[in-house]
Amino acid sequence: MADTEWWAEIDLPATVHSPGAARRLVEELLLAWGRPYLDDAVEVARLVVSELVTNSVRHASDGGVLHLLVRADQSGGVYLAISDGSAVAPAMRDLTSDSEGGRGLHIVDKLAARWGVTTDTAGGKSIWVQLS
C-alpha cells in the first residue's frame, strides 16, 4: 500500500498577523489530514512555520504576498515551504547570551531533518523545511 500524501497551498499577506495564521493553518491541516500519523509533528511544524513566516515578514519587507506550501504523508513526514518576493537569503547569525533576536534559523536548524533555500526566476526565494 502506498503512503497517502496530503498538500495545500495558501497565500498570506506579509503582515504581523501572518505567523499566527500560518500556525493555526498548519495545525488544522495536519490534524485533519493525518490522525494519528501526524499528531507528533503538529507542535514542531507550528513552531517551524511560525519562525519561517516571521522571518519572511520581518526581513523580506517587500510588502507583498507570502506563499505557504504544506505537504505531509502517512509516515509522519512534513514538508513546509514559504516563498516571498525577496532575493535576500536568510543567514544564521552568531548568538551571544544577550542577543535579542536571531534565533529563528537556529531553532529551524535544530528541529528540521533538512532545510534550505531556493531562488526563483522572478527574483524571490523559498525557504523549505523537511520534518520527520
Q: Which homologous superfamily does the CATH classification assign to the domain defined by 12-131?
A: Histidine kinase-like ATPase, C-terminal domain (3.30.565.10)
For residue 95, name the pLDDT band (cuts at 50, 70, 90).
low
Question: What is d(CA 26, CA 28) in angstroms, rounded to the nearest whole number?
Answer: 6
Q: Which residues contact 76 (CB under 8 A, 6 or more apart)?
A: 34, 37, 38, 40, 41, 132
For residue 19, name the pLDDT band (cuts at 50, 70, 90).
very high
- What is the per-residue pLDDT for 99? 62
Q: Which residues contact 102 (CB under 8 A, 6 or more apart)?
A: 92, 93, 95
**Predicted confidence (pLDDT) at residue 34 exceeds the cutoff of 90:** no
Q: Is 86 exposed, middle or buried, given 0-12, 13-18 or 19+ CB atoms closer than 10 A? A: middle
Q: To the nearest whole percent, how much of the chain has pLDDT over 70?
A: 92
Domain-wise residue ranges, the chain: 12-131
